Structure 1
């Protein structure tokens, strides 16, 4: 088994990626800002699966943190065979109400971090003739939902191109585009979710399982569930005003 590096690994989809890849026997490098949560997850996975787990505390919106992760990915003596770009955040308010510093950090995390980590790991993968990259995008990549959608659309487009360009060299790149998923993501951004019906939610284990399966199959895009596959198709033909959805509201 190879080593997988996962960003945003301390909770949600990132932690689920760690658990499923650990169960497959892969060694792990867990990246996030929360040292305590990473240490707890690392101890859990070492005990459950007997694998090597490295913890790397880094803020990917900071050049020093991103540089640290890039250096680890490019280290030829400790090759990384699977990269999961999962770190992300959501912005609750409209663009004109959000401080520009938050928008810039949002852009760096979703676009610059994925670009930098992919560039760092790719030469080693190409030299070995194999590698896997999963970029966690969102169904929002298909929808007109502000700068979050714009950032995820970049990630979707980048992944499609990279998979087509590097698959022949053994490197598989997939954009994973889930819909509403039960994690801490929405609570962290302060979004009210009680109005969202139960049938609209996906479970994290399913999202990760389908994303890893589609990546291994060489698919450029993975959209878990028929519901969100339908949303992706509908976005090509329905008016933007219908696909934008309701405004986000803060939790009460």
Structure 2
């Protein structure tokens, strides 16, 4: 087995992504209560005791809320940037390990690259995972696509990509003006068009799976996201969307 991945859930109510090999399983983010995390892990056939480590992208509650309870309960190492570790008592716990944006490290037998991204958090990053010549890119919670992002995500065999909002839906939607500016700004979240533009610098022929993630329940639909992304794909069969409740089931990189 090379790499496989699955989602506990994706959206503003909670996020968590599993990345696994034959020998290890890491959890990226945990925005759920301990009880809910266990329920969602069980749905994917994973016991908390099987986790090797937790990685955290940034300190917003829908990504970090359940991290410390899970780490304490099962004595799991937690890798975050120094800025992210300002959350709660993270830095003073015996489980915290620093993984700075721009750094790479082997964790549980997986080579992990931390990629700095523009988002309104203390020191956010996203991750590219490599194992046995295969790579998985996880890219959500950023407001713009930078040259650094394009560089690191150009050669992925699978990609979990934020398609947070449709611009007309956001503009006409119920959010107050300040929140609309935050979500749609350079330090907010990717819209469907921005997500599609990233694919122009990717080796599309390599992509076995592209998962549209972190879709706003108020400002986007899977159909709108698909209509923006699908024209850039070689095969529409490789394209699916992550759900807030169901996440998505295991996908394997051949």
Normalised to the residue count of structure 2, the TM-score between the two structures is 0.41
Normalised to the residue count of structure 1, the TM-score between the two structures is 0.42
Greater relative CO, 1 or 2 (CA 8 Å, sep 6+): 2
